[in-house]
A and B are shown apart, each in its own frame.
Chain A
Amino acid sequence: MNTDKPLLIKRLWVVSFSLMLVLLAAMFLGLSLGSSQSGIKAVFQNLLGIGPHDPMLDTIIWKIRFPRVLLATLVGGTLSLGGLVFQALLKNPLAEPYILGISGGSAIGAIIGILIGLVRFPGVSLTAFSGSIGTLLLILVMSSGQTILKKDALLLSGVMVNAFCGAIIMFLVSLTQDARLHNIIFWLMGDLSMVDMPQVGILAAMLVPCFFLLFWFSNSMNLLLMGKEMAQTMGVNVKAVTVILLVATSFMVSATVSYCGLVGFVGLVVPHLLRLLFGPDHRVLVPACVFGGGAYLVFCDVLARTLPDQGEMPAGVITAMIGAPLFIYLLKRTRR
């Protein structure tokens, strides 16, 4: 019998390394392209420190584009990872990172923050974050009549709460007539443009530990797919693992959303894409989601910034326009 299938460590390194390269390429693109036509060659020279020194280009690359690219990496990685974990926890391929009320709750929090005139940072971020955590707690309470282990209760409560919040959001939007309406719409569509380096640094400090934590539990996620009872007989503390995964992921996604609004579709499609490419093992998928998801959003954000003649599209539009056909193509290819 041939058990020469590569051991975990080797697979992990190969996948992580290749996706890291993809991420770096995407980041380079992200630094080179933007609404001011600087040209890829000029950026290349700037990065390597050769050629004439242009302080304006420096500013544009490092003070404007770099924070944004970094943010896109973090957000793309977080959302993909969030989708992955929820898909495993809830055993539902339609699960995505906003599913447990996070989109509804954070949007209401953000809208209230915008309406009462708070600034984006830290005001609206904090209200969005609180809204998100608030709805999560609400859902946990609602579905705790049965234990947390009854995953359908959790899922359904999440869907209901999101729907209800959606109605409130539409109501609030319909009442707003002035410039605040723009702010609200941009927030709802996902807006990566409003951050600078210190803020990205804070977000990174919150997210990176979560990445490591979720990686630590990646094998447990594999076992959980076998069924909660089965996983328990194999030594997994199902209740504790479920709670940790739930809390860490919700925290991570809430933090992300509080920074940049509801960037859509990344958390749904990237885990499936990566699963089609690299298999179902979460130990490989967790780092793959971080690097691959990051690369994906950086790339989509570049397109969002450079495609339109004027202004920029919401990145969530591009992620859906590219992601859906790509996914269908991959699906057909692996059907055989």
Chain B
Amino acid sequence: MAFRISDMLNCRSMVIFVLAATSFIVFSGTPSLARTVTDQLGRNVTVPDEPRRIVSLAPNITEIIFALGQEHLLIGATRFSDYPPEAEKLPKVGSYVHLDLEKIVALKPDLCIAIKDGNPIVVAKRLESLKIPVYAVDPKNLETIMQTVLEIGGLINAEKRADLLVQNMDLRIQKVKSLVSNVTHRPRVFFQIGVSPIVSVGTHTFIHGLIVLAGGTNLAEGPISYPRFSREQVLALSPEVIIITSMARAAIFEQVKAEWNKWPDLPAVRNQRIFLEDSNFFDRPTPRLVDGLELLVRLIHPELFKEAE
């Protein structure tokens, strides 16, 4: 049966009306689907109420989103977003210091979450000029990490889970604090993050905070964040505990340990308190830092746990 012209015209006008109505609803509805928030750098950012396509611009942010159970919202992440292992499958958008603008734009995100220390602000600005909101966080220590978790939770509609996560973190931290509150001696800890040259951690690092919380003394504390030491200087400091973290494999650790064992006068050598730990627990501003804290307490104050047993 052939269409008559009047039918066609009716058909067309119906379609146009429906389209117009839908557009009207959609576009008039759009303003209410976004809100303005202030990120951790004090910037005002307009973010969607329900972000569905999030790109994480740093590995720790990826971790946090996974920890909040919202990984289905992630459509891209930077390289080295390797925890949890599922994160590796996400499309890569460059490294956190050298972001690939094109890849990010091609993914059509409705929100990007950035980290102050590392992401070039230039890229954040360009993303915003392309109408992609960028929310920046700046986790500097355990407290601000918990704050970050809460804020990200608020952004992605996972407030409840964020609360839970933060409460759990807080509990564990308080437990460590109370355990440590009665110790009389704070062992001298040398935390080695670089093998050649020997590099340790200063006051303005996550690790320093963890060492202090775990009841130790950070031998490398001071204004320089990553100070270098010669072997002599370390010997002079006479560490009681040496903790080595690096991306190195076990074989290299044995070499490094053997190097230290050449100096039997070191308390750490005498008491066989040289340990290798996974750096991921210590240098990423994520909830796993609490795991790192618990690890440290066991290494620095093993006597506290012997009693428990």
Residues of A participating in the B interface, judged by any CB pair closer than 8 Å: 34-36, 38, 56, 59-60, 63-65, 119-121, 177-179, 182-183, 186, 193-194, 196, 310-312
By the criterion CB–CB under 8 Å, are A36 and B105 in contact?
yes
Interface flags, B174-199, vs A, CB<8A=1, else 0: 00000000000000000000100001
Taking a contact as CB atoms under 8 Å apart, the answer to whether B108 and A179 are in contact is no
Question: Which residues of chain B are within 8 angstroms of A65 by Cβ–Cβ distance?
Answer: 102
Partner of B106 from the list A56, A186, A196, A311 (CB cut-off 8 Å) is A56
* Count of A-B contacts judged by CB separation below 8 Å: 63
The distance from the CB of B268 to the nearest CB of chain A, in whole angstroms, is 23
Docked Cα-Cα span, A63 to B129, in Å, equals 10
Stretch of B18-26, B92-100, B151-159, B300-308 at the chain-chain interface: B92-100
**A194-B94 in contact (CB<8A):** no
Question: How many angstroms from the CA of A253 to the CA of B40 in the assembled complex?
Answer: 39
Tell me whether A179 and B94 are in contact (CB under 8 A): no
Closest 6 A-B residue pairs measured CB to CB? A36-B106, A177-B226, A182-B97, A179-B118, A35-B102, A35-B103
B interface with A by C-beta (< 8 Å): 79, 92, 94-95, 97-98, 100-103, 105-106, 108, 117-118, 120-123, 126, 129-130, 194, 199, 225-226
Residues of chain B lying within 8 A (CB to CB) of residue A178 = 117, 225-226
B94 engages A56 (CB within 8 Å): no
Contacts A119-B121, A120-B120, A196-B129; A311 near B105 (Cβ below 8 A): no
Query: Which of A60, A193, A310 lies at the interface centre, i.e. has the most chain B CB atoms within 10 A of its CB?
Result: A193
**Which residues of A sit under 8 angstroms from B100, Cβ to Cβ?**
35, 311-312
- Find out whether the CB atom of B103 lies under 8 angstroms from the CB atom of A119: no
Whole-angstrom distance between the Cβ of B132 and the nearest chain A Cβ: 10
Q: Which residue of A lies closest to B115 (CB)?
A: A179
B residues within 8 A CB of A182? 95, 97-98
Is A64 a contact of B101 with CB atoms below 8 Å? Answer: yes
Assembly CA distance A216 to B147 (angstroms): 62
Complex CA gap A182/B58 in Å reads 15
A194 & B129 in contact (Cβ 8 Å cutoff): no
Are A120's CB and B118's CB within 8 A? no
Q: Once bound together, how far apart are the Cα atoms of A310 and B103, in whole Å?
A: 11
Decide if A177 touches B106 in the complex (CB within 8 Å): no
B125 CB, nearest partner CB in chain A, Å: 9
A194 and B120 contact, CB distance less than 8 A? yes
Q: Which of B92, B97, B121 has the most CB atoms of chain A within a 10 A radius of its CB?
A: B97
What is the CB-to-nearest-CB distance from B99 to chain A, in angstroms, rounded to a whole number?
9
Q: In whole Å, how far is A110's beta carbon from the nearest beta carbon of chain B?
A: 14
Contact in complex: B126, A311 (CB < 8 Å): no
Q: Which of A36, A121, A196, A310 interacts with B102 by CB under 8 Å?
A: A36
In the bound complex, residues from chain A placing their C-beta under 8 Å from that of B194 are 177
A177-B225, A178-B226, A194-B122 in contact; A60/B106 too (CB < 8 A)? yes
